[in-house]
């Protein structure tokens, strides 16, 4: 979404916002105005209509050729710039002479633009329609999948893919995430027979592979940076079941194999001893189009782990009280067999630890 002004020779003159701007859902920027005081400071006012209270990355840019190329990016800014939320009047102050001393042109065009936080890092979102389903499995080997109980889940959006190394590094570059524990010796890395703390091999670190060696707090920070959150355990299972179907796997009841999932099937990582780039196994997608809900890497959820579903929420919310022994993660991984990739299978570990088989997938309610 955007709004624009014109600067003419002799100073900044009030001009009407050009066009209705670009809307994102129900949100928009409009009513754009500016004025310059005697000291040279420019005060830019605009209105953010944002009924869902989403976060936006608001930026200011300047064209000197009538709006064809916006090559100048003001830096000496204060006020409602950068991450902005809420609705109503907003104000940016720009020290134009600090950035561009003596700037003057006849055909300057200014643009204020807002990008939704959920578009950061190029996350592709998939809508999962709400509904009720039977969570858990009586056929499961572990008691923690019982009792089977009916849960109602509201519609939500989930990232189509597990978060990639490239996407996570963008969060680190923005200062919103701490680096993954790939080279500090604290990540638990598979040695062929056990997990031991060490550095992550380069074979896991391709741009398109899922990020691993991030702990629960880091996963939560990335999710917040893209205007989202971690999914609840109920939301995750509902989405993995292709919106609540009574299926053992995202595609149905046929047992997982390397034709549908990155797993241990004749060799860990389907013979690669590592993760694969996300969405490498489209035959294993859910009906809604989510990739890798079985295999590749485990995905963390918001919930604390409890040893059975006795007392679990039935409204799709996270099970936060009482605290459990660790945070739940779901979906199986590159190093484990088919049983761990079932939609009902549960696993957990200490929230402060990171592993070479544990990643994340954000979710959001709107």
Per-residue pLDDT tens digits for 240-290 = 999 999 999 999 999 999 999 999 999 999 999 999 999 999 999 999 999
Which of these, 82, 117, 301, 361, lies nearest to 225 by C-alpha position?
Answer: 117
CB 189 within 8 A of CB 205: no
At 25 the pLDDT is 54
Q: Determine contact, residues 159/242, Cβ cutoff 8 Å.
A: no
Is the CB of residue 362 less than 8 Å from the CB of residue 235?
no
For residue 43, count other CB atoms closer than 10 A to its CB: 15
Residues 359, 211 contacting (CB under 8 angstroms): yes
Q: What pLDDT sits at residue 248? A: 97
Q: d(Cα 45, Cα 35) in Å, to the nearest integer?
A: 9
Q: What is the pLDDT of residue 26?
A: 59
Round to whole Å and give the CA distance between 300 and 330. 7
- Three-state SS string over 14-58 comes to CCCCCCCCCCECCEEEEEEEEEECCCCEEEEEEEEECCCCCCEEE
Q: Is 50 exceeded by the pLDDT of residue 7? A: no
Report the alpha-carbon angle 53-174-169, nearest 5.
115
- Name which of 11, 12, 16, 13 is nearest 3 in CA terms: 16
pLDDT tens by residue, 118-174 = 888 999 999 999 999 999 999 877 889 999 999 999 999 999 999 999 999 999 998
Residue whose tokens read 């996407």: 167
Cα–Cα distance measured from residue 300 to residue 206, given in angstroms and rounded to the nearest whole number: 21
Give the tens place of pLDDT for each residue, 188-201.
999 888 889 999 99
CA angle 240, 245, 248 (to 5 degrees): 65
- Average pLDDT taken over every residue of the chain: 89
User: 133: closest CA among 120, 149, 157?
Assistant: 149
CB 39 within 8 A of CB 19: no
Round the CA-based radius of gyration of the chain to a whole number and report it: 24
Dihedral over Cα of 11, 12, 14, 17: its sign: positive
- The answer, yes or no, to whether residue 4 has pLDDT greater than 50, is no
Buried b (16+ CB within 10 A) or exposed e, 113-126: bbebbbebbebebb
User: Do strands 2-8 and 11-12 pair parallel, antiparallel, or not at all (unpaired)?
Assistant: antiparallel
Q: Which tokens hold the place of 209? A: 């592979």
Count CB-CB contacts under 10 A for residue 69. 11
Range of lowest pLDDT (34-48, 306-320, 348-362): 34-48
- Please, what are the domains in the chain? 2-119 (2.60.40), 123-364 (3.90.1580.10)
């Amino acid at each position: 979404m955007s709004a624009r002004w014109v600067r003419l020779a002799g100073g900044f003159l009030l001009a009407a916002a050009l066009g209705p701007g670009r809307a994102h859902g129900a949100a928009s920027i409009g009513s754009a105005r500016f004025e310059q005081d005697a000291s040279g400071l420019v005060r830019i006012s605009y209105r953010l209509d944002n009924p869902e209270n989403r976060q936006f990355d608001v930026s200011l840019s300047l064209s000197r050729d009538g709006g064809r190329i916006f090559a100048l990016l003001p830096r000496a800014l204060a006020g409602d710039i950068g991450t902005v939320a809420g609705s109503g009047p907003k104000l940016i102050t720009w020290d134009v002479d600090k950035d561009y001393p003596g700037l003057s042109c006849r055909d300057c065009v200014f643009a204020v633009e807002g990008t939704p936080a959920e578009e950061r890092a190029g996350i592709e979102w998939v809508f999962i329609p709400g509904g009720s389903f039977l969570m858990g499995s009586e056929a499961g080997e572990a008691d923690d999948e019982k009792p089977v109980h009916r849960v109602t889940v509201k519609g939500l959006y989930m990232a189509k893919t597990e978060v990639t190394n490239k996407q996570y590094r963008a969060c680190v570059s923005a200062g919103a995430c701490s680096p993954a524990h790939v080279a500090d010796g604290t990540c638990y890395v598979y040695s062929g027979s056990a997990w031991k703390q060490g550095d992550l091999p380069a074979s896991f670190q391709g741009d398109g592979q899922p990020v691993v060696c991030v702990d629960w707090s880091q996963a939560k920070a990335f999710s917040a940076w893209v205007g989202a959150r971690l999914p609840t355990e109920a939301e995750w299972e509902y989405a993995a079941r292709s919106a609540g179907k009574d299926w053992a796997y995202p595609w149905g009841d046929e047992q997982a194999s390397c034709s549908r999932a990155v797993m241990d099937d004749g060799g860990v990582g389907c013979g690669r001893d590592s993760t694969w780039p996300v969405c490498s196994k489209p035959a294993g997608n859910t009906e809604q189009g989510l990739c890798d809900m079985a295999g590749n890497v485990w995905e963390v959820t918001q919930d604390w782990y409890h040893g059975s579903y006795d007392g679990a929420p039935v409204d799709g919310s996270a099970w936060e009280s009482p605290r459990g022994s660790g945070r739940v993660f779901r979906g199986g991984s590159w190093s484990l067999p088919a049983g761990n990739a079932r939609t009902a299978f549960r696993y957990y570990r200490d929230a402060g630890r990171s592993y070479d088989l544990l990643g994340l997938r954000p979710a959001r309610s709107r």
